[in-house]
Chains A and B, each alone.
Chain A
């Protein structure tokens, strides 16, 4: 018990800080609230980060959570993502104003959920952690209570989220029925048994489980909520959405299908490859004709989920490493791109594509940052986004899925078109919308600048991160 608690130190720190922050709103005067909330939240994130880096414990907590270097990596990514998002929101009075404690507390709670997901080895924890991640996100998506778009995005997100949880749970109930336990290990013995057992219950269970997780992973037949939720949510929260997917849900799937239920033996390779192709293609093709920056980036995020999924389809160590690099890269470049969108929306009062026209003439620094994020998103070297794509494609080739790589490359080409449409508007068009406010504040500049610098440094010197993920992925098996 004590030992388990010691292993979960970072999560406990963050959860404690989150609960304290939720209580802060009622106990501290309004004037100083924002400063306190931001400082406390960042301090707790720093403490969790220090715990993860200085004391990388490994072991099993409560027999349901596997704490290892693999989960450490994704926990670092989610802590990093939460920190960046809090910095983005710093100057936004509708988020960090009168209820700054609630806002920061909910971001931290969602982060704890994502971190637990990265360790989950049991369907019960998977369910609880997933709810802990998404329920705060429902509230955060609808945080602008008087804004109809925020309301609408949040309610659609909520309905799809709760529905998908129902599907997932129905699947879990069958997996429990077949194995008598909710631990992933029980499922592994069903598939490894030499005697051809009756797997009807397990297949039904896996089908519903996948449908439920597909919603959270924004895979294509289950992606309709994504653009609405992304567009309606306050922009810093939009940036936060993808973190739980890239550092949480995909990790559970890597664990489940890498360590316990081999994709090939369960006959799922073709289905997974098809999902990946659909997700990439439909995400990219729909992004082509978007006129809202947030919506365009939402569809591009769906396309990236498809590419990320290739790492899981490949089902080899290289694919795992690919998902790790890709998750880190997308967290940095996704949050960075939404940071610039948030700044543009503040300056111009709009998040349409028109608003970004002529950005280079007015705010050259912001335009250059956006250029870096877009280059990285389209997978052009020397940025980290390229390295992520390179890894997952290499893994797919190693697994003999050359056709999947071909489709992935074709999709990259399509994505270059709409990313460069933004670049073209920034650099070669004149602004047609009058600027309203002063440009971005210090914290947003720090967050976006640090993300861009990290993308460039890790992209130019890949050996450091390559050896890191190589070592971490060996923790799995």
Chain B
């Protein structure tokens, strides 16, 4: 029988994959995708908690909708910034972005 714990473990695994990706990827697009995986882990958690513990209301699912919407907005801005930097630098690898330091 699949229960709440299964979903939470899957969420934790997804979240860890996301963090690992953010820390190790050098391609900005890869980092963005990893961040999206983190957001999806959050959504899974919210919906699973809602379904298994608080079946009487829809707060968790509603929250997940907000997360999805704002993540999309954030991704739009992120991709626009990536586009701007690609036009100037002709690369999307973070190690090439070393102008600011100290």
Contact = CB atoms under 8 A, between A and B. Distances in A.
> Is the pairing of A and B real?
yes
Interface of A: 124, 127-128, 131, 135, 138-139, 142, 145-146, 148-149, 151-156, 158-159, 162-163, 165-167, 169-170, 172-174, 176-177, 180-182, 227-228, 231-232, 290-292, 295
A352 to B, nearest CB: 11
Given A155-B81, A169-B67, A176 B102 contact: no
Given A145-B84, A151-B84, A170-B38, A180 B54 contact: yes
Given A135-B74, A170-B42, A170-B45, A152 B100 contact: yes
B10 interface: no
Given A127-B66, A131-B74, A135-B73, A155 B28 contact: yes
Given A159-B31, A162-B74, A173-B42, A151 B100 contact: no
Contacts of A138: 77-78, 81
Contact of A124 (B28, B63, B87, B97): B63
Ordered nearest first, which 10 A-B pairs have the shortest CB separation?
A166-B38, A173-B45, A177-B49, A151-B85, A228-B100, A169-B42, A180-B54, A152-B97, A162-B35, A131-B70
Contacts of A124: 63, 66
Interface of B: 11, 15, 18, 22, 28, 31-32, 35, 38-39, 41-42, 45-46, 49, 53-54, 57, 59-60, 63, 66-67, 70, 73-74, 77-78, 80-82, 84-85, 87-89, 97, 99-102
Given A135-B73, A135-B74, A166 B89 contact: no
A17 B11 CA distance: 40
A228 B102 CA distance: 9
Contacts of A166: 15, 18, 35, 38-39, 42
Nearest to A169: B42
B78 A158 contact: yes
Given A131-B74, A162-B74, A162-B78, A153 B38 contact: no
A177 B53 contact: yes
A172 B39 CA distance: 12
A99 to B, nearest CB: 14
Contact of B53 (A180, A182, A232): A180
Contact of B77 (A139, A148, A152, A167): A139
Contacts of A228: 100-101
Contacts of B74: 131, 135, 162, 165
A158 B84 CA distance: 13
Given A124-B66, A148-B88, A169-B42, A176 B81 contact: no
Contacts of A232: 99-100
Contact of A182 (B63, B84, B87, B97): B63
Contacts of B101: 228
14 contacts: A124-B66, A148-B88, A149-B100, A151-B81, A155-B28, A159-B22, A159-B28, A159-B32, A176-B59, A176-B60, A176-B63, A180-B59, A291-B102, A295-B102
Given A228-B100, A232-B100, A182 B59 contact: yes
Nearest to B100: A228
A131 B82 contact: no
Contacts of B84: 142, 145, 151, 154
Contacts of A158: 77-78, 81
Contacts of B97: 152, 155-156
B78 A148 contact: no
A232 B97 CA distance: 12
A180 B18 CA distance: 26
B22 to A, nearest CB: 5
A149 B99 contact: yes
Nearest to B88: A148
A162 B73 CA distance: 11
Given A158-B77, A180-B59, 14 more contacts: A148-B85, A148-B88, A151-B88, A151-B89, A154-B81, A155-B28, A155-B85, A159-B28, A159-B35, A166-B39, A169-B38, A173-B42, A180-B57, A231-B100
A170 B78 CA distance: 20
A249 B86 CA distance: 32
A180 B41 CA distance: 18
Contacts of A162: 32, 35, 74, 78
Nearest to A232: B100
A169 B102 CA distance: 31
